[in-house]
Amino acid sequence: MTAAKGAKAFSLAHLPVIGASAAALLTAAAIVAATGPSSLSASAKADFTLAATPTSRTVQQGQVASYTIDESKLNGFKDPVTLTASNLPAGSSATFSPQTLDTKTTSTFAVTVGAATPAATYNDLTVTGTGGGVTKSITVSLIVQAATPPSFTLTPSPTSASMLPGDTAAYSIATSAQNGFTGAISFSVAGAPAGSTSTFTPASVNVGGTTSLQVATKNTANSGAYTLTITGTSGTKTQTTSVALNLTATGKQFTISAPSITVPGPGASQPLNLSLTNTNNQPLNVTNLTVNIQSVIKAAGAPAGSCTVADYAITQYSGTYPVAVPGGQTVSLSSLRPTSTWPKLNMLNSGSNQDACKGAHVNLTYSGVGQG
């Protein structure tokens, strides 16, 4: 017999004679030594993995951070996997939708951060999946920032107006809420030319509303550039914005008119399609179109009661400037700007004026600045 490579060669001829059975055993041992031990292969174990998208979220106190948890089944894994969360920040809670992954392999992991949860970075939020005797865990990060307190913003339009001394500048101030703010806002303005009269209509609005600022200047006001600082106040909260007012010493002549209007009823509005006539030979750029209520005349035979300028309000022109008028021509807002930007005559609905103002006549004045 020849020994396998690496095994020590021997011959039965050198062994003492100990009987046939011993020789057979030795022969079997030699065969085992020559062939080595048998090789056994084990099948791969059924398993699963978890992954999170994204791995980090940033939210403010009182908000919700959401992650997507994906399960991948390996080697024929078929058991349902139940998800749980641990290491949540103090004052926070978590939900999974769905909490058990079976036929569906994706879940939404939502962490509701408490209003009093400390602002900090939490790097060890742990999601654990358990099923089929297998447990797997992954971690995600959560950055909690201090909540921004409720507030409001002021947005003026236009942001700049140019006119002659003695004219009236008009601006629209829109308000909007931030972080759930609610409440009424009152207004004030500083920086107008000396002797000017500034009026907000209405004097206060609920957040989300709009007020109109009119600044009536004196004929004797000094020409120059003025910055008007507008302040909105609601309780202890204040916000400011600014607009520019430019008084020019000279301007080119033009006329403003409006077609016959129907005075609106209580709570209604009437758009004013102003016409601009350029009597100059050169093109004219018109800015600061302004409409004012000069007077209100009750209709003859109208029921007794008060009907005055205070029962009406003007929404000023909100379109872009300048309004270009070719030399020697007349153009109307209807040919230049959408109806939504036209000035409007509004009748307030006070209840007491509904009869007294029937058939009333409202006298309006118009102004603007033309530059060549």
Let me know if the fold of 151-247 is the same as that of 254-371: yes
Residue 281: band (very low, low, confident or very high) from pLDDT cuts 50, 70, 90? confident
pLDDT tens digits, one per residue of 201-222 = 999 999 999 999 999 998 888 8
In the predicted model, what is the mean pLDDT of the chain?
86
Name which CATH class applies to 47-145.
mainly beta
**What's residue 92's pLDDT?**
96
| 313 has a pLDDT exceeding 90 | yes
183-207 mean pLDDT: 96
Q: Which residues pair with 203 in a beta bridge?
A: none
**Distance separating alpha carbons of residues 276 and 52, to the nearest angstrom:** 64
The pTM (predicted TM-score) of the whole model is 0.48
User: Is residue 56 helix, strand or coil?
Assistant: strand
Give the least confident one: 16-25, 161-170, 250-259, 325-334.
16-25
21-29 mean pLDDT: 43
257-267 mean pLDDT: 86
**Distance separating alpha carbons of residues 40 and 234, to the nearest angstrom:** 81
Is the backbone peptide bond immediately before 98 cis, with ω within 30 degrees of 0? yes
How many other CB atoms are found less than 10 A from the CB of residue 319?
16
Distances (CA, A) of 105 to 57, 117, 126: 22, 31, 18
72-80 mean pLDDT: 94
Residue reference for tokens 């999974």? 96
- Domain ranges in the chain are 47-145, 151-247, 254-371
Assess contact for 45 and 75: CB atoms under 8 A.
yes
Name which CATH class applies to 151-247.
mainly beta
pLDDT tens digits, one per residue of 317-337 = 998 888 999 988 999 999 988
Contacts of 147 (CB under 8 A, 6+ apart): 60, 61, 62, 63, 115, 179
302 Ramachandran zone, left/alpha/beta (phi>0; psi -120 to 50): beta
b vs e for 102-141, b when ≥16 Cβ sit within 10 Å of the residue's Cβ?
eeeeebebebbbeeebeeeebeebebebbbeebeeebebb
Assess contact for 305 and 352: CB atoms under 8 A.
yes
**CATH 2.20.28 describes domain 254-371:** no
**What's residue 250's pLDDT?**
67
User: Is residue 355 helix, strand or coil?
Assistant: helix
**Distance separating alpha carbons of residues 234 and 232, to the nearest angstrom:** 7
Please give the structure tokens belonging to residue 26: 């030795």
